[in-house]
Structure 1
Amino acid sequence: MGLNTSRKVLVVDDSNTIRRSAEIFLKQGGHEVMLAEDGFDALAKVNDSRPDLIFCDILMPRLDGYQTCAIIKRNEKFADTPVIMLSSKDGVFDKARGRMVGSQEYLTKPFTKEELLKAVQQFTPSKQETL
């Protein structure tokens, strides 16, 4: 049988380059990937497809990553969905603010494939264990 290690991961970033590289890395890790280019797009996709984990950029037009994360976490259906913030600057303030809105972790861009896959593994317990 083996453990089901495939996860549904949503990547939210207004940069096409970041979305593409995250998608490639995650697919190489065997995960199902959905992409959103801003917070509004992300909220619709979270609702429709209920991802196991969300990577969310901080700096985005219209709705930033903090607001997006806060809205997701306020919905009891998704309060337990891990959200990992992505930012191009490695700031202590950003990390603290990310924790305040409920994000689990913080990755600095550009991230490596290892960092991305490790985060997915770390924050989504294998399906079998949670049953």
Structure 2
Amino acid sequence: MWSRERSKLGKLGQWGIIFLVFTLISFSLWGCTTERVSGSIGTPAADFLLKDLRGEEIALSQFRGKAVIIDFWATWCPPCRASIPHLRDIYRRYKGRGLVVLGIILEQSSASSIFLYRRYGHQLSCPVGK
């Protein structure tokens, strides 16, 4: 009698574990998709509204019709800091043709962000992304 009940419980336990594993895998894959979501040439990017280091609001839509380079950077990122002078030079060269460079800072407006902005980017718009 006990052995029958144990074997029934054992089978139920095995099915329970299989069900639990299947459920966990299903939930972990629920948000996954193979469809790539990306912009393409000629397709407008999604608009955003951020404040720059001076507290002024910058919307991507205000640059409609212009070429816009968006660079995400942070003070703790050496390659990001290294790219700032190059972006500044590109901006200087092509601003007469309508080029806009947005250097979105990926941290709160810290003293080091303000220093880098003043040193390299005071000609560039630097909204703060949160």
- TM-score, length basis structure 1: 0.35
User: Which structure has more strand as a fraction of its residues?
Assistant: 1
User: Which structure has more helix as a fraction of its residues?
Assistant: 2
Larger radius of gyration: 2
- TM-score, length basis structure 2: 0.35
